[in-house]
């Protein structure tokens, strides 16, 4: 496996695996050692990542500087399917909808937005489902459809999801569900009068300088709230950096700092660690946890797509990976192990 070309230059451009690309919103770049990272330990980490042939990109931002880029069969301009990382973008858009006054509270109920779909519903519990339940995966919906969810011929997917049986009472327990996130996309579409993508372009992507985006829709034109977003690696880093900087970039408040603080708070403790990650939990469509002394929160996508923030280290780590394999879960765990055992130790205390 060969990942790009190793270029060791001055501190003004850093140590980067990169291609020559034109980017109208370039990251400032720096040598890792100038941002408090041990370059020797980092090189050892690179050697491990090189052996992970499913990794297509690995980026690292420290103190606002892009200090590492690695690409394999990928480039800075390639839009990658980020799978469930999409959920965290949907979460941000719900925060913007709240800030813009499109919704009054995350405690508003499903029936405020889906009266027609609920008209024939025989389960009264569904009328008690709130936006907060959907954001924290505690609505009770599971991944229960017998056919692939993301098909163009699902012409009434919102109704299909609402009609599906609940696995738990709303608020009773955690049940990971892309369907819950898709209902949030439906809410965004209905309250704003524009598509979820159009809302994202206006309030999130353009202010961040994200120009190239692909986001698939169901048969009714509702963008999938739980998956099917495509982003370039640097743009994934921009989204992560927005959260790291409490929603404020270039003196502009793009996302409410209160929403970010609320979103990355843990609402569901899991008893088992995830590889080296302890205190694993879930916020508003963001995962939370801790590597040793460092708390982290992260957007996680199938097969190894990550936007991982370590706020105490002023660090954003982005990975993309080939998910068309039979080892997608192992890939995710291996990448988390690399972060814990080989990336965080590069920080010079």
pLDDT tens digits, one per residue of 214-270: 999 998 999 999 999 999 999 999 999 999 999 999 889 999 999 999 999 999 989
Mean pLDDT of 38-55: 94
CB 55, CB 335: distance < 8 Å: yes
Q: Which helix (H) or strand (E) holds 96?
A: helix 85-99
pLDDT band (50, 70, 90) for residue 11:
very low
Burial, 69: exposed, middle or buried (Cβ in 10 Å; 0-12, 13-18, 19+)? buried
User: For the domain bounded by 6-78+232-346, which CATH number is listed?
Assistant: 3.40.710.10
pLDDT tens digits, one per residue of 312-322: 999 999 999 99
Name 334's Cβ contacts closer than 8 Å, sequence gap at least 6: 52, 304
Angle at 299 between CA 132 and CA 251, to 5 degrees: 85
User: If you write DSSP's letter for every residue of 212-231 in order, what string do you get?
Assistant: --EE-B-TTSPBPSSS-EEE
Furthest C-alpha separation in the chain:
67
Of 181, 200, 206, 204, the residue nearest 286 (C-alpha): 181
CATH 3.40.710.10 domain span(s) along the chain: 6-78+232-346, 86-194
Of 214, 162, 176, the residue nearest 301 (C-alpha): 176
Match 């408090």 to its residue by tokens.
36
pLDDT band (50, 70, 90) for residue 308:
very high
Burial, 115: exposed, middle or buried (Cβ in 10 Å; 0-12, 13-18, 19+)? exposed
pLDDT tens digits, one per residue of 25-43: 578 999 999 999 999 999 9
Cα separation, 198 vs 203, whole angstroms: 9
Cα separation, 91 vs 93, whole angstroms: 5
pLDDT band (50, 70, 90) for residue 144:
low
Q: Is the pLDDT of residue 289 over 60?
A: yes
Give me the pLDDT at residue 192, please. 98
pLDDT tens digits, one per residue of 110-139: 999 999 999 999 999 999 999 999 999 999
Share of residues in the chain with pLDDT > 70 (%): 89
Of 17, 11, 76, 71, the residue nearest 37 (C-alpha): 11
Q: Is the pLDDT of residue 3 over 80?
A: no
Give me the pLDDT at residue 206, please. 95
Q: Is the pLDDT of residue 20 over 50?
A: no
Q: HSE on the CB side for 261, CA within 13 Å?
A: 5
Q: Is the pLDDT of residue 150 over 80?
A: no
Mean pLDDT of the chain: 89
User: For the domain bounded by 86-194, which CATH number is listed?
Assistant: 3.40.710.10
Give me the pLDDT at residue 13, please. 27
Cα separation, 197 vs 193, whole angstroms: 12
Give me the pLDDT at residue 118, please. 95
Match 């946890």 to its residue by tokens.
289
pLDDT tens digits, one per residue of 205-219: 999 999 999 999 998
Give me the pLDDT at residue 27, please. 87
pLDDT band (50, 70, 90) for residue 77:
confident
């Amino acid at each position: 496996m060969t990942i790009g070309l190793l270029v060791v230059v001055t501190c003004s451009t850093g140590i980067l695996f990169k291609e020559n690309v034109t980017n109208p919103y370039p990251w400032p770049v720096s040598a890792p050692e100038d941002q408090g990272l041990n370059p020797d330990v980092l090189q050892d980490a690179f050697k491990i990542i090189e052996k992970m042939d499913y990794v297509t990109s690995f980026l690292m931002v420290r103190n606002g500087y892009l200090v590492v880029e690695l690409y394999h069969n990928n480039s800075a301009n390639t839009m990658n399917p980020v799978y469930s990382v999409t959920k965290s973008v949907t979460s941000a858009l719900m925060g913007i909808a709240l800030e813009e006054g499109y919704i009054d509270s995350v405690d508003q109920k499903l029936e405020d937005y889906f009266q027609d779909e609920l008209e024939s519903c025989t389960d009264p519990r569904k009328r008690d489902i709130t936006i907060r339940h959907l954001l924290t995966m505690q609505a009770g919906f599971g991944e229960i459809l017998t056919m692939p969810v993301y098909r163009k011929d699902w012409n009434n997917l919102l109704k299909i999801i609402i009609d599906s049986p609940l696995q738990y009472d709303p608020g009773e327990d955690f049940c990971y569900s892309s369907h819950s996130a898709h209902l949030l996309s439906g809410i965004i579409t209905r309250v704003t009068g524009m598509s979820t993508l159009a809302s994202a372009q206006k309030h999130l992507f353009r202010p961040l300088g994200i120009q190239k985006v692909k986001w698939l829709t169901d048969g009714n034109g509702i963008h999938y709230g739980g998956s099917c977003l495509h982003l370039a690696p640097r743009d994934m880093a921009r989204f992560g950096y927005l959260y790291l900087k409490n929603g404020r970039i270039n003196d502009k408040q793009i996302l409410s700092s209160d929403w970010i603080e609320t979103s990355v708070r843990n609402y569901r403790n899991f008893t088992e660690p995830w590889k080296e990650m302890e205190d694993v939990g879930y916020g508003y469509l963001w995962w939370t946890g801790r590597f040793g002394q460092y708390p982290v929160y992260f957007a996680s996508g199938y097969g190894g797509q990550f936007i991982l923030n370590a706020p105490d280290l002023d660090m954003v780590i982005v990975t993309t990976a080939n998910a068309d394999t039979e080892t997608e879960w192992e890939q995710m765990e291996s990448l988390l192990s690399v972060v814990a055992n080989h990336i965080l130790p590069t920080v010079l205390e």
